[in-house]
Amino acid sequence: MFQNPATANALEAMTDFVAFEKLCCDLLAVYGGYKGIVPQGVGRVDGGKDAILSRRDPADVTAVREKLVFHFSLRRDYQRKLWEDLRKTFERALPLDIVVFLTSREVTPSTREKLQNDVKAEFGWTLEIYDQQWLRVPLDGEFQRLRKQYLGIDYDQHVFHDLASLLDVPERHPNREDLSHGAYYRNEGLHDRVHMLLDTRRHCLISGKPGHGKSALAKAVGWELLSRASHNAVTRVRL
């Protein structure tokens, strides 16, 4: 996957914590699998937590299975910031099972493991850490609109995704299961038009405003083409 060096540089230089909080919440919700995350007083006193999430039991939606607290950091001394946040959370006796920490800095695997073990030993909490590299992957990929919105970096000219792999990610809808079970609304006229252009001209440009379904349409059409024949030449989709 193409890595835009400007993304890492922008994350390193970022100083607007309010924007960083919003960026983290957006990515966690649409890419990280934390759907339902609730920001807590963005840019204001947050009471020991930047965001929260309650995961409910699928068998009983009234029962909370796990409680998560999120902390975000732009500081170079992110480890010190993490412990400050953890102690603040502990002092406020916030009920939780998992702490999720996002930092704009890189975290080595050995540092990650040590922090997780230390937090477990001292507080009994599970610690999940996401660093600059985790942030960079979606921002340089299918979420370049968020990169442009929060970091001011324009869209890359050539961004391709392996369609088969993209369809297998459960958190990104529509995925293979959605399309296989009819959980995606198919606009017959629009789909037929795209297929006609692909059949006659071998390419089709889909344009529109953010959130209007361009990526979903491209994935659905690609899935239909792949379903017709395993040897179909269309195996990559540009988003």
pLDDT tens-digit series, residues 101-141? 999 999 999 999 999 999 999 999 999 999 999 999 999 98
Domain coverage including residue 191: 160-238
* Residue 113 to residue 117: CA distance in whole angstroms: 6
- Percent pLDDT > 90 in the chain is 49
What value does the mean pLDDT take over residues 4-27?
95
Structurally, how many domains does the chain consist of? 2
- pLDDT tens digit string along 51-71? 999 988 777 767 778 999 999
Residue 56 shares a structural domain with residue 135: yes
* pLDDT: which is higher, 217 or 29: 29
Looking at the fold, whether 173 and 98 belong to one and the same domain comes out as no
Q: How many CB atoms lie within 10 A of CB 28?
A: 21
Q: How far is 151 from 20, CA to CA, in rounded Å?
A: 9
For residue 203, the tally of other CB atoms under 10 A from its CB is 7
Sign of CA dihedral 162, 165, 170, 173: positive
Residues 166 and 146 in one domain: no
User: What is the rounded distance in angstroms from the CA atom of residue 74 to the CA atom of residue 63?
Assistant: 34
pTM: 0.67
Q: Are 114 and 127 in contact (CB under 8 A)?
A: no
